[in-house]
């Protein structure tokens, strides 16, 4: 029970330390990946840094699988990052080997006090500083739990020193190193932590239960076991992502086989690095991952080509509703998950913008195929928007900074408005079908007015989506101004249409309902676009529409518009 409890504290401590490091780094994790270049040395350093932040090479590899699956990174880039990830895991093991277990309770106490102090200072003016104290406290507490878990595991193994059966098992592992590798691989694959496996090995070493000869196979197996996480994460993904997982397995397994083939030489090399067995085991872990970098980094291009030959591309015909960027493997890293969700939302907006630009063809062409295509696209839009909303809702269940939570809410608002615009397009398609069925047509003046309104609405939506993509608040304000013009124009167009009805124009009378509904639907598109503008400006409340009796304009609180009279228009020529 002590062994299981100690291992549980160890793993929980790693989770807390990982969360604290990620939050202290905040969006810097995103920046780290953004500066990734084809420079192999830079890629290794980045892989090391990211793994130190995540406290798990498996998590880093899963992230790589997600990024490659989303076509954000190439296979060549991932190899250096992946090799660096292995080196990043050695930091925790090195810290454990320094016998920091004696100070574990001190770390726990200090970390807890920092978290409590930050919690009681929430009303402080410097909110960012308070959060940093809290996150650093999490890191200190996490490492304290890691060291305390090690201490408990070491104490729990004391009785095994006199157990003849257990000693015999260890002797068999020393004589049969392959069994040691397999045992450590399976154990690491189950608990998803090579550091925990090596931590348990260090506990055995502290009790004098194993030698360096029997410890090294366990270290090698622990490194291979981290591949299980990557292997599971690549199931059902793109071919490129599967190649990342394959290369991870290939490099780790090949390196372990080389060490086994030259085991006496490797043991002698490790024996020269330290005098204590704990330090030798930690050094074996570091040296093994360093050797992998020296062996495989120069061969990265050849490895990439080898992976492509072994796992060739396959045909894939994903529809519009198939997300290109969302990946559940990135949910544990909110900064990256939000980047992906933003890209998918931008893609959704581009699809809808294309539909809006084409929708007026429904009212001029008499080809039902155009109508069917737009309705099919609308169904795809519904599915895609549902996927994005589900992803963002799932992300809300993960630990996020206040800024990340705000971004998550913002994206939900935008997706909701875009989905509503898609619904309006569906209504427009049914309206066009009604017009076609009744064989109706608009008057020349009415048609020109409608197409001009559509042009303004389409331009406004384009500006809104550009403002959202680039976070351009000035352009969002411009789009709101355009929205005010459209709202005023909507009233004028209704008045203009009623005037034609009074003049007894036949085409206007026959198509009156279609004409007015079309104006209404285009106005709805403009309203939802304006709502997105509000979101970009950080104002998540819905636009409020109020009218003063007798005015020819719609007024929105916070915006000043001049009088807008029908005299600004001459016939059907609209400014």
Helix, strand or coil, per DSSP, at residue 280: helix
- The answer, yes or no, to whether residue 500 has pLDDT greater than 80, is no
- The answer, yes or no, to whether residue 187 has pLDDT greater than 70, is yes
Residue 58 has, within 13 A of its CA and on its CB side, a CA count of 21
Share of the chain above pLDDT 90, in %: 17
Contact 129, 178 (CB under 8 A): no
What pLDDT does 258 receive?
Answer: 92
pTM value > 0.85: no
The separation between the first and the last C-alpha atoms of the chain, rounded to the nearest angstrom, is: 81
- The answer, yes or no, to whether residue 26 has pLDDT greater than 60, is no
Tell the burial category of 395 from Cβ atoms under 10 Å away from its Cβ (0-12, 13-18, 19+): buried
CATH second-level architecture of 325-439? Up-down Bundle (1.20)
Q: How does DSSP classify residue 323?
A: -
Instruction: For the domain covering 441-575, report its CATH number.
Output: 1.20.58
Q: How does DSSP classify residue 398?
A: S
What pLDDT does 567 receive?
Answer: 37
Tell the burial category of 544 from Cβ atoms under 10 Å away from its Cβ (0-12, 13-18, 19+): exposed
pLDDT grade, residue 568 (50/70/90)? very low
CA torsion sign for 500, 504, 505, 507 is positive
Tell the burial category of 181 from Cβ atoms under 10 Å away from its Cβ (0-12, 13-18, 19+): buried
- The answer, yes or no, to whether residue 564 has pLDDT greater than 80, is no
Average pLDDT of the segment spanning 139-163: 77
Taking alpha carbons only, the member of 332, 476, 325 closest to residue 404 is 332
Tokens of 186: 């399976």
CB under 8 A, 24+ apart: contacts of 554-559: 554/484, 554/487, 554/488, 554/491, 556/480, 556/484, 559/480, 559/481, 559/484
Domain with CATH 1.20.58.220 in the chain: 325-439
Quick one: which H or E segment has residue 312? none
pLDDT, mean over the chain = 78
CB under 8 A, 24+ apart: contacts of 289-294: 289/83, 289/86, 289/87, 289/89, 289/90, 289/223, 290/87, 291/255, 292/83, 292/86, 292/251, 292/252, 292/255, 293/44, 293/83, 293/84, 293/86, 293/87
- The answer, yes or no, to whether residue 125 has pLDDT greater than 60, is no
**pLDDT tens, 222-280?**
889 888 767 776 665 667 778 888 888 899 999 999 999 999 999 999 988 888 888 89
**pLDDT tens, 525-544?**
999 999 999 998 887 655 54
Share of the chain above pLDDT 70, in %: 77
Tokens of 313: 């591309």
**pLDDT tens, 197-212?**
888 888 888 878 888 8
Of 495 and 569, the structure prediction assigns the larger pLDDT to 495
């Amino acid at each position: 029970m002590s062994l299981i409890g100690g291992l549980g504290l160890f793993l929980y401590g790693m989770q807390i330390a990982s969360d604290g490091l990620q939050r202290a780094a905040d969006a810097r994790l995103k920046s780290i990946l953004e500066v990734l270049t084809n420079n192999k040395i830079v890629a290794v350093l980045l892989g090391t840094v990211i793994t130190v932040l995540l406290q798990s090479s498996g998590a880093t590899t899963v992230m790589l699988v997600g990024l490659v699956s989303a076509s954000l990174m190439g296979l060549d880039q991932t190899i250096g990052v992946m090799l660096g990830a292995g080196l990043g895991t050695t930091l925790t093991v090195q810290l454990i080997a320094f016998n920091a277990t004696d100070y574990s309770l001190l770390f726990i106490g200090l970390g807890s006090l920092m978290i409590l102090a930050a919690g009681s200072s929430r009303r402080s003016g410097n909110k960012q500083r308070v959060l940093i104290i809290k996150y650093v406290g999490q890191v200190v507490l996490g490492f304290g739990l890691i060291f305390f878990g090690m201490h408990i595991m070491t104490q729990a193994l004391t009785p095994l020193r006199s157990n003849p059966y257990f000693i015999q098992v260890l002797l068999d592992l020393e004589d049969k190193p392959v069994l040691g590798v397999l045992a450590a691989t399976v154990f690491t694959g189950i608990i998803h932590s090579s550091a925990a496996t090596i931590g348990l090995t260090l506990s055995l070493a502290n009790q004098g239960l194993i030698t360096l000869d029997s410890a090294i196979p366990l270290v090698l197996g622990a490194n291979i076991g981290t591949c299980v996480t990557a292997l599971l994460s690549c199931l059902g993904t793109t071919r490129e992502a599967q190649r990342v997982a394959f290369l991870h397995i290939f490099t780790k397994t090949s390196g372990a086989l080389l060490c086994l083939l030259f085991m006496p030489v490797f043991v002698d090399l490790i024996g020269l690095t330290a005098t204590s067995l704990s330090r030798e085991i930690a050094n074996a872990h570091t040296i093994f991952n360093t050797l992998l970098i020296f062996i495989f980094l120069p061969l990265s291009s050849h490895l990439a080509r080898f992976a492509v030959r072994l796992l060739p591309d396959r045909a894939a015909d994903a529809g519009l509703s198939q997300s290109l960027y969302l990946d559940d493997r990135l949910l544990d890293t909110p900064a990256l998950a939000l980047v992906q969700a933003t890209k998918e939302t931008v893609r959704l907006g581009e699809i809808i913008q294309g539909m809006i630009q084409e929708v007026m063809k429904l009212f001029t062409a008499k080809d039902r195929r155009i109508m069917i295509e737009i309705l099919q696209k609308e169904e795809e839009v519904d599915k895609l928007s549902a996927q994005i909303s589900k992803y963002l809702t799932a992300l809300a269940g993960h630990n996020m900074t206040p800024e990340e939570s705000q971004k998550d809410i913002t994206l939900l608002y935008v997706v909701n408005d875009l989905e509503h615009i898609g619904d309006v397009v569906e209504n427009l398609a049914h309206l066009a079908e009604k017009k076609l069925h009744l064989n109706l047509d608009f008057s020349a003046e009415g048609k020109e007015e409608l197409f001009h309104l559509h042009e303004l609405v389409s331009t406004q939506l384009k500006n809104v989506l550009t403002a959202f993509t680039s976070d351009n608040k000035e352009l969002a304000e411009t789009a709101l101004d355009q929205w005010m013009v459209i709202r005023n124009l909507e009233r004028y167009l209704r008045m203009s249409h009623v005037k034609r009805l009074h003049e007894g124009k036949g085409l206007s009378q026959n198509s009156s309902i279609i004409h007015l509904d079309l104006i209404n639907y285009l106005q709805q598109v403009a309203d939802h676009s304006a709502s997105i503008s509000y979101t970009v400006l950080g104002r998540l409340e819905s636009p409020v529409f109020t009218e003063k009796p007798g005015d020819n304009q719609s007024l929105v609180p916070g915006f000043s518009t001049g009088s807008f009279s029908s005299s600004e228009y001459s016939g059907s020529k609209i400014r």
